Each structure stands twice: as C-alpha cells, then as structure tokens.
C-alpha cells in the first residue's frame, strides 16, 4: 500500500463526519457493476447523492398525502407553507436568520426575480447592471433579460475588477460565490462591502457554495441571493431553488413575477395585487410539492452538522487531492485552475487538459465520476458529507493511470 493510501486511511479514521456517509445511498449494486471497486462519486457539485431518508418520505407524499388525503393535504400535510418552511431549513446553512429564504422555481427564475427586484430597489439614475464575466451562463443570459426589461445596461466584469467598475450608475452586481468551472471562491464579504460603498445592491449566486462552506449572508449584509438545492444540498434532480431577501429590504422587494402565491391574501381571489409581507413575497405559483418535500427530507442529513466542520473537511479533501495528483500525475500533464489558497477555494478541483472530454469518459468507465466542462476542464466535486480520503486517493490514482 502506498504512503498516500496509508495517509488516507488515517485521515478517514479521525474524520468526524465519516458517519454521515451511511445516511446516503452509495456503494450500490449498480456501482459495483460499473466497477468492481465501486464508484467514487465526485459529481455531487452537479447532482448530490440520494439521502437514504428521501425514498420513504417521497412514497408517503405520493401514496398517503396525495393519494389518500388529496386536496386536504394543502393544509393537513403542510403543503401550502412548504416554500417558507423549507426556506427556514436552508437559512442556517447560508447564515441567514429565519424568515428571509423562500424555496421554489429554478435558479434561473430566481436570478430574474432578484435582479429585477434589485434594480427596483436601487436609487434614481442607477441604470447599470454588473455581472460576473465568468459566471455560469444562465446568470448572464437572465441578467441580460433583466437589464433589457428594466432599461439598464449590462456590463460583464471579472469579479476581481468589480470594485473598480462600481460607480454611481451601478444599480446592482450579480456574482457567483464559487465559480462553477474553476472552483474559485470569490470574496463575498469584500465585494459586498464594495458594492454597498458605491450604493449598489449585491446579489449572490450560491449554487456552488451553499452546503460546502459558510456563506454568512446576514453577517456580511448581502442584499439578495439565490441558489440551487441539488448540488451540496442533495435535494434531487432539478429540485427547487431558493431566494434570499434580507429582512430590511423585503418591504421594498417588488417582484417581476407577482403570482398569486405571493399575494397578501391568496385565497381572497382579489383582482388587485397586494404583496405579502416577508420572504414569501418571493413566491410565484403553486409550489411543486413532490420535489419540494423530497428536498425537505434531504435537508435532514444536516441536523447537528456545523457548516464549519464541513468546510474544514472540504479543504482537507481538496488539499489531499492536490497532494495525490502532484504525487501520481506526471508534471505538466494537467494544470490546476483552482486556487491553492484556502480563502480562494470552493469545494471542487478543476484540472485543465486538452483531452479533458475523453479523459473524463475513461475515468467514469473506471468508476471515478467527475464531470467535463467545455472546452477543457475536468471537474471534481468533494462533498464532505459522503466523500472520504480513500476515495480521494483512489480518484487521483485512477486519474494518473488514465492520463498515462
């Protein structure tokens, strides 16, 4: 056994989160069919693994709540209040006090709500939107639409250049907390403060950070934020996203999608729109109950897990992966595009190589599942709740063999 394999065993033995792995469906017969050694799943930053509690809960929602109680479940099974109840469950994971997060719709739709809402909160004469030039594409496309529909100009800016680009015409800035491709962690406290200094609204996309590291929305005075729930929060494929509106801004939040669920009295069936108070002003239409309650069950794995412990293990995993890659992979064969500094790293490692698409295919065939992001990036996500150090060592070893 190699030195690194022994080191991995020792690290796993003292891992306080190691027991959490048993709360997920992993090491299945399908995994062993794919590779005799099973699968190392490093794609939880795209689709989180299935929490073991979910299937039973979904079965209850379908068979009993829908099948037997039917319409009564809107009240009796708590369907109607699910968006804000589950929002409150996500809140501590992103450093938010209750009453500021609401679940529903896709991330893209929430980006639209947040950006239009931000422009409407901004002061007179502010007609420019800044957007992370390296953003996950949907944020950029939606920002373009939000700008077009609010009479703003959209200006893509690299996150590092945002402080210099902010000015008296900036209405809002939309940034990704962790870059989906490189895994770079951006400076949320600093960039939020810079936006505020310029009198602009700071909107953050937490898709690649929530559930992997502390976000501190309240602490750092973030104005609006959105995120998906199917990556590190393990909510299931396409599970509903969430919207955070800071409490003191909620009365000024003027949604471009004022569906009946955000009405002060939705069952009053009134002709005139009057927005509800609080986070549920961010709701739109009838909530998607099956997906939403699967997410609610999935969030139970977080009970008693401090996000700081998750962050510590995440950094240890990615440090160890870099160490193993340095030891196993011939120098120059891959270039790490994820920053080495802890304060600039999310919970993934992105390696660039010309034949990344092909390499990832062969890795997956050998039971190491990451993903490929065009044109040349191998992406490995490390979910601290279910990835161990032996997984990391094996992934690096198989990567080296594949690249050889």
- Please identify, using beta-carbon distances, which residue of 260 and 336 lies nearer to its own copies: 260
Is 49 a binder of its own copies (CB under 8 A)? yes
Active site residue 230: yes
Annotated binding-site residue? 139: yes
Please report, as residue ranges, which positions from 139 to 158 form the binding site for its own copies (by CB under 8 A). Answer: 140-142, 144-145, 149-150, 156
Is 73 a binder of its own copies (CB under 8 A)? yes
Candidate list 15, 17, 46, 121; residue touching its own copies; CB under 8 A: 46
Annotated binding-site residue? 136: yes
- Please identify, using beta-carbon distances, which residue of 248 and 265 lies nearer to its own copies: 265
Active site residue 379: yes
User: 125 φ, ψ to 5°?
Assistant: 80, 0
Is 176 a binder of its own copies (CB under 8 A)? no
Bridge-partner residues for 155, per DSSP? 130
Which segments of 278-397 are extended strands (E)? Answer: 335-336, 348-352, 368-369, 371-373, 377-381
Among residues 15, 31, 43, 205, the one annotated as catalytic is 205
Active site residue 242: no
Candidate list 159, 227, 240, 346; residue touching its own copies; CB under 8 A: 240
Taking CB under 8 A as the binding criterion, the range among 6-14, 61-69, 182-190, 339-347 that sits at the site for its own copies is 61-69
β-strands 128-132, 153-157: how paired?
parallel
* 135-150 burial code (b ≥16 CB/10 A, e <16): bbeebbebbbebbeeb
User: 3-state class of 184 per DSSP?
Assistant: strand
- Identify the DSSP state of 15: -
Tokens read off for 30? 């399908």
Is 241 a binder of its own copies (CB under 8 A)? yes
Q: Answer for the pair 276, 251: CB distance below 8 angstroms, yes or no.
A: no
Candidate list 81, 285, 335, 340; residue touching its own copies; CB under 8 A: 285
Bridge-partner residues for 40, per DSSP? 368
Is 112 a binder of its own copies (CB under 8 A)? yes
Whole-angstrom CA distances from 26 to 21, 41, 211, 299 are: 8, 9, 19, 17
- Please identify, using beta-carbon distances, which residue of 28 and 81 lies nearer to its own copies: 28
Whole-number minimum distance, CB 391 to its own copies, in Å? Answer: 14
Q: Answer for the pair 344, 337: CB distance below 8 angstroms, yes or no.
A: no
Is 58 a binder of its own copies (CB under 8 A)? yes
Please report, as residue ranges, which positions from 304 to 333 form the binding site for its own copies (by CB under 8 A). Answer: none
Give the active site residues.
136, 205, 230-231, 379
């Amino acid at each position: 056994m190699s030195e690194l394999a022994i080191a991995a065993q020792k690290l796993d033995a003292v891992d306080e989160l190691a027991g959490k792995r048993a709360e997920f469906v992993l090491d299945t017969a399908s995994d062993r069919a794919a590779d005799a050694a099973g699968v190392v799943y490093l794609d939880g930053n795209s689709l989180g693994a299935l929490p073991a509690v979910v299937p039973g809960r979904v079965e209850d929602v379908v068979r009993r709540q829908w099948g037997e109680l039917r319409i009564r479940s809107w009240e009796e099974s708590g369907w109607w209040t699910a968006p804000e109840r589950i929002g409150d469950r996500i809140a501590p994971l992103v450093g938010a006090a209750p009453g500021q997060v609401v679940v529903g719709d896709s991330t893209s739709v929430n980006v639209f709500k947040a950006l239009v809402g931000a422009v409407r909160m901004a002061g007179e004469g502010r007609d420019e939107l800044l957007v992370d030039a390296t953003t996950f594409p949907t944020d950029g496309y939606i920002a373009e639409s939000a700008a077009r529909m609010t009479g703003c100009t959209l200006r893509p800016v690299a996150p590092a250049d945002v402080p210099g680009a902010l000015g008296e015409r900036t209405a809002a800035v939309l940034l990704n907390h962790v870059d989906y491709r490189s895994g770079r962690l951006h400076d949320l406290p600093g960039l939020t403060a810079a936006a505020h200094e310029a009198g602009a609204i700071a909107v953050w996309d937490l898709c690649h950070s929530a559930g992997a590291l502390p976000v501190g929305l309240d602490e750092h005075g973030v104005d609006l934020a959105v995120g998906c729930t199917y990556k590190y929060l393990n909510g299931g494929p396409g599970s509903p996203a969430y919207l955070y509106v800071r409490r003191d801004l909620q009365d000024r939040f003027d949604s471009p999608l004022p569906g009946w669920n955000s009405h002060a009295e939705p069952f009053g069936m009134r002709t005139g729109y009057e927005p509800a108070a609080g986070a549920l002003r961010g709701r739109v239409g009838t909530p998607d109950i099956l997906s939403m309650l699967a997410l609610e069950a999935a969030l139970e794995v977080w009970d008693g897990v401090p996000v700081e412990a998750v962050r510590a293990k995440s950094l240890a995993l990615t440090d160890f992966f870099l160490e193993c890659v340095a030891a196993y992979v011939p120098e120059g064969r891959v270039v790490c595009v994820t920053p080495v500094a802890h304060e600039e790293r999310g919970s993934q490692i992105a390696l660039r190589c010309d034949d990344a698409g092909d390499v990832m295919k062969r890795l997956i065939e050998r039971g190491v599942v990451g993903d490929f992001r065009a044109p040349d990036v191998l992406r490995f996500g490390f979910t601290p709740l279910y990835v161990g150090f032996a997984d990391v060592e094996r992934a690096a070893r198989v990567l080296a063999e594949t690249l050889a």
